[in-house]
Amino acid sequence: MQWQKAKNIVVLFLIAVNIILFFLIQSDTARTRLSSSQEAAIVSVLNREQISLNTDIGRINFSPMRRLTLRPVEINHNEVLAIFFDSAEISHLTRVIDGDRIIYHTPTSDRVLTLRNSAFEFDDYNRGEIIDFTQSTEEILLEARRITDELVERMGHFSDGFALDIKHYRIGDFINAVYRFSYRGIIIQPNEIRFTITQSGIRAVEYRFFEPIGHDGESRVIFAPDEILLRFMTDPIINNLKPVIINSIDIVYDFKEEDLNGDVVYAVPSYRINYSGGARVLAEFLIDAYSNEAR
């Protein structure tokens, strides 16, 4: 009997502990996600300012975050050349040094590769028709996706960790798409492969990559999404574009090359707002999550 009584007490104690832990977890979650009333309030304010919110901000976890340390990487020129030129072409390329840029181009300058630090750009001015622009928009975008996916795969280790971030979209005779690199599930905004495609195929490629080393310093409090959206709403750029539609909002790491400190650069958590308004079909607006200032 004594053992049964003791066992019942232990069971009741464990149930009580689980209940307390449940409420503690719920309380912590409430502090790192917007409540339904907070969501409704910011949506109402945005609507009055001709800004439509077409995404769920209640899913965003705004727990404290640490900044991320990255370093520039040395790009092997021969490996990049082999991506865009065949071996016979490479031997006939002209090499030009322009400050911190090294430029390779064909004899007629119709194809140009520019390398600089952790980045390179490729321009192709003379291609035959590859994409039939008389097809439906859906078919054109699917063909553009196939072409860029093939090149991303051909880039080998340069594209490891990159995935399609901004899906292919068309503006006039141009199709744009952006692939970006993620670190532990969070996109590093400047680490990107940006494509411009025409009916002649890939017209331009812009690549940049800084290698993430790891997190730095202590976790710091970041602003909540509703506070970030108030900052977005009052920005002069956005005011001149209204009405505006917010298509998505997420948290990324962002850095600027001019912030390079010796051999490293620090990327800070930033809210990324994808929006359309005025003549901007698809644009990105970045706000520092620590300071609530536009980047």
How confident is the model over 170-210, as pLDDT tens digits? Answer: 999 999 999 999 999 999 999 999 999 999 999 999 999 99
How many residues make up the chain in this entry? 295
pLDDT in tens, 86-124: 999 999 999 999 999 999 999 999 999 999 989 999 999
* Spatial CA neighbour of 217 closest among 68, 71, 72: 68
Asked if 27 contacts 20 with a C-beta cutoff of 8 angstroms, the reply is: no
So what's the pLDDT on residue 117?
Answer: 87
Enumerate the H helices of 33-72 as residue ranges: 36-48
So what's the pLDDT on residue 130?
Answer: 84
User: What CA–CA distance (Å, rounded) separates 221 from 62?
Assistant: 8
* Spatial CA neighbour of 195 closest among 232, 222, 245, 159: 159
- Asked whether the predicted pLDDT for residue 28 surpasses 70, the reply is no
Q: Token pair for residue 158?
A: 């340069």
Do strands 51-53 and 244-254 pair parallel, antiparallel, or not at all (unpaired)? parallel
- Enumerate domains of the chain plus CATH numbers: 33-69+220-288 (2.40.128), 76-116+119-208 (3.30.310)
Asked if 190 contacts 254 with a C-beta cutoff of 8 angstroms, the reply is: yes
CA Rg value for the chain? 25
Cβ neighbours of residue 291 closer than 8 Å, sequence gap 6 or more = none
- Residue 205 sits at the vertex; the CA angle it makes with 203 and 209, to the nearest 5 degrees, is 175
- Asked whether the predicted pLDDT for residue 58 surpasses 90, the reply is yes
Cβ neighbours of residue 96 closer than 8 Å, sequence gap 6 or more = 102, 103, 104, 105
User: What CA–CA distance (Å, rounded) separates 265 from 267?
Assistant: 7
- Say how far residue 259 (Cα) sits from the centre of its chain: 19
- Of the listed ranges 23-27, 173-177, 219-223, the least confidently predicted one is 23-27
So what's the pLDDT on residue 24?
Answer: 34
